[in-house]
Amino acid sequence: SQQGEEDPQALSIQEGENATMNCSYKTSINNLQWYRQNSGRGLVHLILIRSNEREKHSGRLRVTLDTSKKSSSLLITASRAADTASYFCATDGNQGGKLIFGQGTELSVKP
Amino acid sequence: KAGVTQTPRYLIKTRGQQVTLSCSPISGHRSVSWYQQTPGQGLQFLFEYFSETQRNKGNFPGRFSGRQFSNSRSEMNVSTLELGDSALYLCASSLGSGAYNSPLHFGNGTRLTVT
C-alpha cells in the first residue's frame, strides 16, 4: 500500500503562477522527501524535511510539514515551463528503512 | 562525479525468459535500492542492498532477486518473465542505508517490455 498520497493527481497552470501540491501519509515518519520526475526519466531529489521541522525552503520551492495532520505541501513559486513534470512525496513511515512513494502529481506549466 | 548508471536502457523480452539489469551507483555510495514503476501501481519498492547485504525487501514474488558486489554495483534478476513485469525499473543509490535522512539518487531506469 502507498504510504504517501498526493493531491491533486494533475495540475495545469500558466507560467508565472504558483503551484501547490499536497501529500498525506498514514504512519509516523522520520522524514518526508519530495522528488521530481521528467517523463521517462529517473527521479530527482528536491528537498528533505525532517519530522521535527515545520518548513523548509530551497530556491523557488517551499515545503511544509504538519505531523499532527500527517500531511505536507510543496509550493513552487513563479513556475516555469521547465517545471512541467511529475512530483512525488516519499516517506520512510517506519517501514524499516524503505522509502515509499506516493502516486504523484502531474504538473503541467503552460508558457 | 558521475551519476547512477543503469544498463541497458531498453530491453524487450519474451514471456518465460529471464532478465538481468545492472546498476552502478555514485562513487562512495554503499546503498542501492530498486523500484518498479508502472502506470497502474506507481513506484513499488523491490529491495535495498547495503554493503552486499539485502537490508529491505518489498512485496514481490521470489522471481525477483538481486545482489550487490563488493564495489557496490548491483544487479537485479527477474526469472520466468510475465507480461505484468513490463515496467520502468529504477535503481537509486544513497550514502546511508535506508531512507533515514539520506536522499536517493536515481538512474534513468531500464525500460523492460515483455511480449
Q: What tens digit of pLDDT does each residue of B18-61 get?
A: 999 999 999 999 999 999 999 989 999 999 999 999 988 999 99
pLDDT of residue A100: 87
pLDDT of B65 over the 70 cut: yes
In the block, residue with C-alpha cell 517490455: B113
User: A94 CB near a chain B CB, below 8 Å?
Assistant: no
Residue B48: list chain A partners with CB under 8 A. 97-98
Q: What is the DSSP letter of B102?
A: -
**Which pLDDT score, from 0 to 100, does residue A77 have?**
98
Mean pLDDT value across residues A85-95: 85
pLDDT, averaged across chain A: 92
Q: Look up residue A19 and give its three cell numbers.
A: 503551484
Which alpha helices (DSSP H) does A11-51 contain, by range?
none
What is the band of A30 on the pLDDT scale with cuts at 50, 70, 90? confident
Q: Distance between CA A96 and CA A98 in Å, rounded? A: 6
Other Cβ atoms less than 10 A from the Cβ of B78: the count is 25
Residues in chain B closer than 8 A to A95 (CB atoms):
56, 99
E strands of B5-95, at which residues?
Answer: 5-7, 10-13, 19-24, 31-38, 42-50, 53-57, 64-68, 74-78, 87-94
pLDDT value, residue A1 = 44
